[in-house]
Amino acid sequence: MNIKTMATSGIIAALYVAVSMLVAPFAFGAFQFRISEMFNHLIVFNKKYFFGIVIGVFITNLFSTLGLYDLTFGVGHSIITLSISIIIGKFVKNKLWHMILNTILFTFTMFIIAIELHLAFNIELYFDFDIANPFYYTWYTVALGEFVVMAVGIPLMLALNKRLKFKELI
């Protein structure tokens, strides 16, 4: 990893943490609007952003009251979902469509965070298809927040890309 990539990764991680801390009351728990999650769209422009995003998630989750749960599940969620997005990028070259798929992917994989919350709060975890199942409600609430942030992030990141040229920054 060259110096430019390391420096850019550090800046992305710092921005992720700073933006998360600005909205800290809404960045953790069953109702999440972690605005910094829109940085996940950077992976669409260059896979080298992977490290900065993951480091940002790791540092942010150090401030979580859920401790090891958030470090394990939150960072794991990011690693898994960003990796899948990189694979998708091999087939989907259009940035807008890749960002739309990225939004859907991150929204769907929030079940990982729902599992984390159920384990952390000692809520019985069962997966039957009962509409009253608290797991599905938790998945819905965290996925909704992720969807909103990622969807709003699409036009914002596309506009920033016109000015900053994300592919060339790292």
Q: Where are the domains of the chain?
A: 3-22+30-169
CA distance 170 to 158: 17
Q: Is the pTM of this model over 0.85?
A: yes
Both tokens assigned to 124: 């019985």
pLDDT digits (tens, 9 = 90+) for 52-95: 999 999 999 999 888 899 999 999 999 999 999 999 999 999 99
End-to-end CA distance of the chain: 10
Q: Which CATH number fits domain 3-22+30-169: 1.10.10, 1.10.3470, 3.30.1460, 1.10.1760?
A: 1.10.1760
92 φ, ψ (degrees, to nearest 5): -110, 105
Residue type, 39: F
Residue 85 near residue 43, CB atoms below 8 Å:
yes
What tens digit of pLDDT does each residue of 5-17 get? 999 999 999 999 9
CB burial of 94-103 (b: ≥16 within 10 Å; e: otherwise) equals ebeebbbbbb
Q: What is the pLDDT of residues 81-138, one digit of tens each?
A: 999 999 999 999 999 999 999 999 999 999 999 999 989 887 766 656 666 678 888 8
